[in-house]
Structure 1
Amino acid sequence: MTTAPAPQTRKRPARQRAVASADRLFYERGVHAVGVDQITEDAGISKASLYTHFRTKDDLVVNYLVGRSDAWQEHVEAELPKRATTPGDRAVAVFDLLGEWFDEPGYRGCPFINVEAEFGHDHPSHDVTLAHRTWVRELFTSLLREADVDEPELGALELCLLYDGAMACAQADPSRPWAQAAGRTARRIVARPGTPASK
């Protein structure tokens, strides 16, 4: 999935340009390292224009993560039906999508984990992170339940561990096939017998 925004043009509305610049700069450099002056300069807008749309830099950070979450959800929901026909295979295909993202130039890890590392739980972005993680967990739970895997909620947590671990490992050591390794482990989780069959 290409997570970087499309190239900016001066014809785009100021708000869109601010969001696109913040998205790229926050992801590339981190939130603390990027000031409002850098965002307005990159977007070609004034501070007054920026603050017309965002009361604070924190509001811009929240908008950045909401945009990342929406884009990833749309991508996953559009791609999974194309990649696999069974719910178990779709759960594994999530890791194929991660692997494609890891291979893109400029991959810098999970934007949600990165922002959490900078701010912790007290920042307004924390609620966005929790909502995104809830979506990931519920996606896995639903797919495992449809696949008749025993204890789908616990299995979903295991898949979330693989999901987060693969992103962190790919950021720290991009030379290794972390997504493929996570996908192989995910397949073993999906292959567990369902509760009716195991009795």
Structure 2
Amino acid sequence: MSSKLKTVSKAMVCLGLVATLGLGACGGGSGGSGGSGSRNRANAVETPLLKTTWQLSGIYLNPADPGALPQDAAGTVEIVFGQSTIAGISACGPIRGQVEYLIENQPARPEEATAIRFQEMDFSITDAENCIGGRAYVQEKIRTLLSGDFLIQRPGADSLALTAATTNIDAPVLRWVSR
């Protein structure tokens, strides 16, 4: 294929991605939102942060912790980010709250944000009969952790890592995968 045809083909694919996912979908090159470099991966289109169902896949509290969820809690916690809200469900009940997207502690558009602030979180237990064992453990961990500021990292196109923004070297991390 000629170089000109390849360029036109790439441009058409990029236009299609922009139409469906926004400008961040074409990535590449320098500039952009900054961050760790994980935002622009060659040949990988990231799942959008907003309006995607994110399923909890791991809770990492310290370096020695394998992060695996208890078997009876795997797949039981899901969240969806909105423009200023978060909604979800766990085996124990609904998850609701307010979120603010940030860059260097200043308000930012969600698709450009490098951090997120969780506020006014509500983890109501509406299914106490099902909220036992590993499910109760996970409910308690996310209830205590999902408050305050978290750094947003995208280790893969369909994964999300939220790291507590703290001065501690071993900050807790919540890992999510898109569904």
Q: What's the TM-score, normalizing by structure 1? A: 0.27
Q: What's the TM-score, normalizing by structure 2? A: 0.29
- Which protein is richer in strand relative to its size? 2
- Which protein is richer in helix relative to its size? 1
